[in-house]
Amino acid sequence: MSFLELRDITKRYGTLNAVSDVTLSVEKGEFVSLLGPSGCGKTTTLQMIAGFVDVTAGSIRLDGRDITHAKANSRGLGIVFQSYALFPHMTVYDNVSFGLEMQRVPKSDRKDRVEEALGLVHLSAYAGRYPRELSGGQRQRVALARAIVIRPPVLLLDEPLSNLDAKLREAMQFELRDIQRKVGTTTVMVTHDQAEAFSISDRVVVMEAGRITQIDEPYRIYEHPETEFISRFVGKTNMLPGTVQTVNGGYASVSLAGVPVEVEAPGVALGETLTLCIRPEKLRLAGAGQGRLPGRVSVRYFLGSQWLYHIDGPLGTLMAVTPNDGSAPLDVDMPVGIDWSPSVVRVHRGVMAEAPDPALEAE
Amino acid sequence: MTRNGPVALFFHTLVVLFMLAPLVIVCLVAFTPENTLSLPTRGLSLRWFEAVFHHPDFVQSFWNSLWLALLSATLAVALAVPASLAITRWEFPGRGFLNGLFLSPLIIPHLVLGVAMLRLFALVGATGSFGWLVAAHIVIVTPYVMRLLIAAITGFDRSVEHAAYSLGASEATVFRRVTLPMILPGVTGGWLIAFINSFDELTMSIFITSPSTVTLPVRMYMYATESIDPMMAAVSAIIIGITVVAVLLLDRVYGLDRILVGQK
């Protein structure tokens, strides 16, 4: 049996199902992220684990104990809130010490443990400050110290990094993971930022409209998205619609604007419409006249370590990302050939809607 | 920080003068040796301060008012804290009605309240009772406390309370250690405004005070309708003096910013 088990938990507000039949097992010491756009039910799920929201149906077990209807203050979980939720009228030391005080830890032990927790988040020098005297990143670390000092069986993180600026967020991601490894606490994090979820989680749970659509390792989710939604939400994807021309065993020949392409697609019928999904970094740009499709550079963006090109061609605009190897980039209006290796193509049956911008989707 | 221009400075000076002038004039008049309300031109005298203490009814009224204001402000806060929490945080049947009920004394003229209370006191046989006077004042000052508290609670981030719960605190502990300290500026500000309003209240109190419970404003009003002499200015000066000392002490001991503005 897993350490933390959610079984078919559902949250209903009137007739609206905020969370439907969510089942998830988290192993001891694991770092799991709930990823999805806003309104997908990920925060509600976290709040049900925390005990702030009543579970309509289903059960939650922690270390073999049923906590479905236990009060929030008896669960002993450590929680880091999006707004940090520090006690503004208490010093950093008192903030961190609060949970130990509630557990009636003797004063001398309390001091050692508070200092240990503050040391872990590199804030030993700030014990006497008030939250208002700290920067966003420091407040975030106080919130983390306050949550882990009580040695919770499970640490819950609600969008912990979303209020930090980009550079600090990246640094804190790794620090967060580092601290989690050191302490070894089972952690569930809620985020809408896929980069955040991918870089620090052992497993990612993708949620959509109150349901779990895929649970997998970050790499697997990126390379083998199980639904259209995931391939659109997770990273950028080129989607090429085409019609099946010939079927040969598990393979099919698909016509993309007149160009035949062999793909592995068992069980499709002649004349069926398929969508081929290819990640931008898997497209290869060759000289004009080479490759599978012709194209022309319409825009290029310099991303530092990479170049992002928009290529106009017979299938509309495709995105291609190439590593910046130090040589001169392609010029705008330059004709190119677009190529890819057959193994990088993911086939979806039917036509897919235009991909929304994941960044816009997130908020 | 931007500095004020000359026009702004001139305007601010006028505003401050306009607000302070009556207080300063009253205090000056209190030191007059004359028999009329006049600025002391022929030397200073303490005779009118002395006169106050020859009127034991004034001293008695001062204590009446002080106790009345202390009690009604404190009880109003004790009522308003749970009421504001309930009205701000929960949806329940009759919420709008309750909110309106708590605020209605603000809209009803004190004259009307005075007549109504007079009838009520007569009906229940409470004429002359200090306890019922306190109750009447609570009705008047509660809306002020409610307004300040509702404002304080509306801007409250509830995840801070959730954080305390998750750390194992009981509901009572969360209220005592987190909620109350965080809305303290609203509580103390509300208490002060309630105190001042009660101490100052004349219109309603005229109807419902009896000889043994006459408050200072009522006493001054009764005195002033018979004769106007600088003793009124002396009484006012004493009250202003007590207020200034109290505020200075409060600032020295607790810090006014902390009480009224909070530690943001």
Per-residue pLDDT of A83-113, as tens digits, reads: 999 999 999 999 999 999 999 999 989 999 9
Q: Both A221 and A292 in a single domain?
A: no
Subunit contact B167:A72, Cβ cutoff 8 A: no
What is the Cα–Cα distance from B205 to B203, expressed in whole angstroms? 6
Cα–Cα dist A52/B175, whole Å: 17
- Nearest beta carbon to residue A85 from set B160, B168, B181: B160
Contact A50 B162 (CB under 8 A): yes
Please count the residues of chain A.
363
pLDDT at A358 over 60: no
Please report which confidence band the pLDDT of residue A355 belongs to, taking 50, 70 and 90 as the band edges: very low
Q: Do residues A309 and A175 share a domain? A: no
Q: Can you give the CATH number for the domain in which A187 is found?
A: 3.40.50.300
Q: Is A162 at the interface with chain B, CB within 8 A?
A: no
Residue at which a domain ends, from A214, A231, A248: A231
Confirm if A238 and A280 have CB atoms less than 8 A apart.
yes
pTM, rounded to two decimals: 0.79
Phi and psi angles of residue A240, each rounded to the nearest 5 degrees, phi first: -110, 110
CA B87 to the chain's CA centroid: 23
Q: What is the reported pLDDT for A277?
A: 85
pLDDT (mean) for A19-39: 92
At residue A363 the predicted structure's pLDDT band, cuts being 50, 70 and 90, is: very low
Mean pLDDT across the stretch A311-329?
87
**Distance of alpha carbon B202 from alpha carbon B99, whole angstroms:** 26
- The 10s digit of each residue's pLDDT in A45-89 is 999 999 999 999 999 999 989 999 999 999 999 999 999 999 999
Q: Which of A213, A231, A249 marks a domain boundary? A: A231
pLDDT tens digits, A264-300: 877 788 888 888 888 888 888 888 888 888 889 998 9
What local confidence, expressed as pLDDT, does residue B43 receive?
80
Q: Is residue A360 part of a domain?
A: no
Q: Are residues A182 and A307 in the same domain?
A: no
The confidence score (pLDDT) of residue A104 equals 92
Residue A329 within a domain: yes
Residue with tokens 């701000």: B88
User: Partners of A65 in the beta sheet?
Assistant: A62
Question: Residue A225 in contact with residue A257, Cβ under 8 Å?
Answer: no
Whether A71 and A176 map to the same domain: the answer is: yes
The helix (H) or strand (E) run that includes residue A197 is helix A194-200
Q: Which two tokens stand for residue A226?
A: 């199980």
Number of residues written out for chain B: 264
Q: Cα(A141)–Cα(A124) distance, rounded to whole angstroms? A: 11
CB A133 within 8 A of CB A124: no
- List, in sequence order, the alpha helices (H) in chain B: 6-29, 47-53, 56-89, 95-107, 110-124, 130-154, 159-166, 171-174, 180-200, 203-208, 216-226, 231-253, 256-260
pLDDT for residue B261: 65
Total domains in chain A come to: 2
- Tell whether A191 and A281 lie within a shared domain: no
Question: Among A199, A216, A231, where does a domain finish?
Answer: A231
Give the mean model confidence (pLDDT) for residues A199-224.
90
C-alpha A72/C-alpha A79 separation (Å) is: 11
Residues 6+ apart with CB under 8 A from A37: A192, A208, A233, A361, A362
* Distance of residue A87 Cα from the nearest chain B Cα, in angstroms: 6
pLDDT at B1: 55
- Please report whether residue A355 resides in a domain: no
For chain A positions 106-145, those within 8 Å of chain B (CB to CB) are: 130, 132
Domains, chain B, ordered by start: 55-260 (1.10.3720.10)
Token pair recorded at residue B188 = 């103390």
Tell me which chain A residues have a C-beta less than 8 angstroms from the C-beta of B178: 87
Within-domain flag for A356? no
Give which of A13, A96, A102 to mutate to test B binding, by max B Cβ within 10 Å. Answer: A102
Could you tell me if A281 and A180 lie in one domain?
A: no
- A357 in a structural domain: no
Facing B163 at nearest CB: one of A51, A75, A85: A85
Same-domain pairing of A19 and A76: yes
> Is A124 inside any structural domain?
yes
In terms of residue numbers, what domain contains A211? 2-231
* CATH number of the domain residue A296 falls in: 2.40.50.140
What's the CA angle centered on B180, arms B179 and B184, to 5 degrees? 125
Is residue A156 located within the same domain as residue A242? Answer: no
Query: CA nearest B36: which of B214, B179, B231?
Result: B231
| Residues A283 and A188 grouped into a single domain | no
Compute the mean pLDDT over every residue in chain A, rounded to the nearest whole number.
87
Of A181-195, A261-275, A317-331, B187-201, the one with minimum mean pLDDT is: A261-275
Tens-level pLDDT at each residue, chain B (264 residues): 567 888 999 999 999 999 999 999 989 888 888 888 888 778 888 888 888 888 888 899 999 999 999 999 999 999 999 999 999 888 888 888 988 888 888 889 999 999 999 999 889 887 778 999 999 999 999 999 998 899 888 888 889 999 999 999 999 999 999 999 988 888 988 898 899 899 989 999 999 988 888 999 999 899 888 877 888 888 899 989 988 888 888 788 777 776 666 554
Q: Looking at the partner chain, which of B157, B170, B264 has a beta carbon nearest the beta carbon of A85?
A: B157
Residues A189 and A295 in one domain: no
- Is A363 domain-assigned? no
Same domain? For A195 and A249 the reply is: no
Statement: residue A327 has pLDDT above 80: yes
Q: Are residues A144 and A13 in the same domain?
A: yes
